[in-house]
């Protein structure tokens, strides 16, 4: 009999265990859920996002299917997962995890919400409390696997971890046994994985906004197949000729960076501006400098940006930026727009703002270099900073101060400072899609004591859009 890879067994065992997560962990999970639903609401107001919504066959309604937040669509749970995922991720505004691999743990909420709604509508009682526990599990699997496994170094996109983590969470909700979930997880690892090319010049495009939804949808399908008894592949990771580690990971062992507990949910990073996370502190520094450069853009000689090595690798972008997906992953664009406007919203990536004749010349004036200390402290597990510093030098030789910010507002070290801002972000995002109902929804998601006991389908009822 073939020995099952230990990692598959460990992931399945952790996912199915009866965890007693702390009050603090569950509070973080509730905030993460609310934040993701707000991001989805705002995304639903964007035409480029809306064109991907709705049934594949027009006018199809799936009895006892799953709803997509902010819409009236009732789809099969796989397609509903895809569309919920693209809404959560579309604006690059949802929470983030940074380590050897990067990613967005709330991408997994697409699978959890859609499957939970579907199961409720088929007669199972799945509560928001069950949803929050599944979220902690998915966050932990994705984030701990990301600590020491740099899939980006071999050209693979981080959404492969969404597929693995969402498979685990879906198996938990479906009530699979460990053998069946290990089988589903083996299929997730051997399933073929996206290349990162759609995140990098010259091929940047909107796939980066729906890739995680695609991965989560595939995870739900694999978990449902396992529920029907579909076979797994015990040595999918380790088989020396054909396994994932040999074929796609250059012979490296996929390993867990720490024991699976609830570390990731406690330390996840929330976004206060819609931009790739390595640029968050650059945007904040630029906001502080806005008053010092306002009206002086023609006098700027250079904009000095000191950053960490991952930012250089991911978002140091020169030359043409062809679309919003390109712009929100450009350190230079984020910094320049933040300097010029003193704010940064989803609308600043549109073609109208990008046509501002000041932006491209100032992007060309950006001098981006690595600060080795920022890189060391980014990788230091005791710090996990995401530092940037910005200084503007004018043609007459004068300059602004050098504004250095090591920890972004969404970092656990600044969580208390960020909470009122995250609440306002949620209110603003929900108002964009739900109008006057936004305040009621904010109260439900953040304060209502009965929310954990609410059925998932009742939560989706509250989030139906126009």
Q: Are residues 255 and 287 in the same domain?
A: no
Q: Give, to the nearest 10 degrees, the angle between helix 415-434 and helix 23-43.
A: 40
Q: For 301-349, what is each residue's pLDDT tens digit? A: 999 999 999 999 999 998 999 999 899 999 999 999 999 999 999 999 9
| Domain assignment of residue 351, yes or no | yes
* Whether residue 317 is found in the same domain as residue 353: yes
**Which of 71, 77, 78 lies closest to 51, judged by CA?**
71
CA within 13 Å, CB half, 213: 28
Decide if 437 is inside a domain: no
The kind and range of the H/E element at 122 are none
Rounded Cα–Cα distance for residues 275 and 283 (Å): 9
The answer to whether residue 438 is domain-embedded is: no
Residue 438 φ then ψ, to 5°: -60, -45
Counting the structural domains of the chain, the total is 2
Q: Give the separation between CA 88 and CA 110, rounded to whole angstroms.
A: 8
State how far the Cα of 332 lies from the Cα of 432, in Å rounded to an integer: 28
What is residue 2's predicted lDDT score, i.e. its pLDDT? 83
The domain boundary, picked from 368, 386, 408, lies at 408
The HSE-up count of residue 76 (CA atoms within 13 Å, CB side) is: 10
Token pair 């602004």 is found at 400
pLDDT digit string, tens, across residues 200-256: 888 989 999 999 999 999 999 999 999 999 999 999 999 999 999 999 999 999 999
The reply to whether 351 and 211 lie within a common domain is no
Tens digit of each residue's pLDDT (9 = 90 or more) over 377-431: 998 988 999 999 999 999 999 999 999 999 999 999 999 999 999 999 999 999 9
pLDDT of 466 above 70: no
Say if residue 282 is in the same domain as residue 263.
no
Percent of the chain predicted with pLDDT > 90? 95
Find the helix or strand (DSSP H, E) in which 388 lies.
strand 388-394
Structural contact between residues 316 and 335, judged by C-beta atoms closer than 8 angstroms: no
CATH of the domain at 352: 3.30.1330.120
Residue at which a domain ends, from 207, 234, 267: 267
Q: Is residue 173 part of a domain?
A: yes
Structural domain span for residue 335: 277-408
């Amino acid at each position: 009999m073939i020995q099952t890879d230990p990692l598959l067994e460990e992931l399945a065992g952790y996912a199915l265990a009866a965890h007693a997560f702390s009050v603090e962990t569950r509070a973080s999970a509730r905030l993460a859920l609310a934040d993701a639903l707000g991001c989805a609401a705002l995304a639903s107001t964007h035409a480029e996002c809306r064109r991907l919504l709705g049934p594949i066959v027009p006018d199809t309604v799936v009895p006892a299917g799953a709803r997509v937040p902010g819409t009236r669509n009732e789809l099969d749970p796989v397609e509903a997962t895809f569309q919920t995922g693209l809404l959560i991720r579309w604006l690059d505004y949802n929470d983030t995890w940074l380590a050897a691999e990067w990613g967005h743990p709330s991408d997994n909420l697409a699978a959890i919400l859609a499957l939970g709604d579907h199961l409720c509508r088929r007669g199972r009682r799945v509560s928001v409390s069950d949803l929050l526990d599944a979220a902690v599990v998915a966050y932990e699997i994705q984030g701990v696997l990301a600590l020491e496994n740099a899939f980006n170094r071999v050209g693979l996109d981080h959404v492969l971890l969404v597929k693995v983590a969402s498979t685990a969470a879906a198996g938990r909700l479906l009530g699979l046994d460990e053998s069946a979930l290990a089988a589903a997880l083996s299929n997730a690892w051997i399933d073929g994985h996206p290349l990162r090319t759609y995140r990098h010049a010259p091929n940047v495009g909107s796939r980066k906004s729906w890739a995680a939804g695609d991965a989560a949808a595939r995870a739900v399908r694999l978990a449902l197949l396992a529920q029907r008894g579909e076979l797994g592949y015990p040595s999918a990771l380790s088989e020396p000729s054909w396994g994932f580690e040999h074929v796609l990971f250059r012979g490296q062992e996929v390993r867990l960076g720490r024991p699976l507990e609830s570390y990731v949910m406690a330390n996840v990073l929330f976004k206060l501006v819609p931009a790739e996370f390595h640029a968050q502190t650059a945007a904040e520094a630029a906001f502080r400098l806005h008053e010092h450069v306002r009206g002086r853009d023609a006098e700027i000689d250079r904009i000095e940006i000191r950053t960490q090595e991952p930012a250089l690798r991911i978002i140091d972008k020169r030359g043409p930026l062809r679309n919003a997906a390109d712009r929100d992953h450009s350190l230079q664009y984020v910094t320049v727009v933040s300097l010029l406007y003193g704010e940064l919203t989803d609308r600043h990536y549109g073609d109208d703002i990008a046509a501002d004749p000041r932006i491209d010349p100032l992007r060309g004036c950006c001098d981006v270099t690595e600060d080795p200390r920022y890189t060391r402290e980014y990788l230091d597990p005791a710090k996990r900073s995401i530092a940037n510093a910005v200084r503007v030098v004018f043609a007459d030789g004068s300059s602004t101060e050098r504004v250095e910010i090591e920890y972004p507002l969404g970092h656990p070290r600044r969580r208390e400072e960020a909470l009122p801002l995250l609440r306002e972000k949620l209110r603003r995002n929900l108002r964009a899609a739900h109008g006057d109902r936004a305040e009621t929804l904010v109260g439900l998601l953040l304060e209502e004591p009965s929310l954990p006991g609410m059925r998932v389908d009742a939560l989706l009822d509250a989030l139906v859009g126009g």
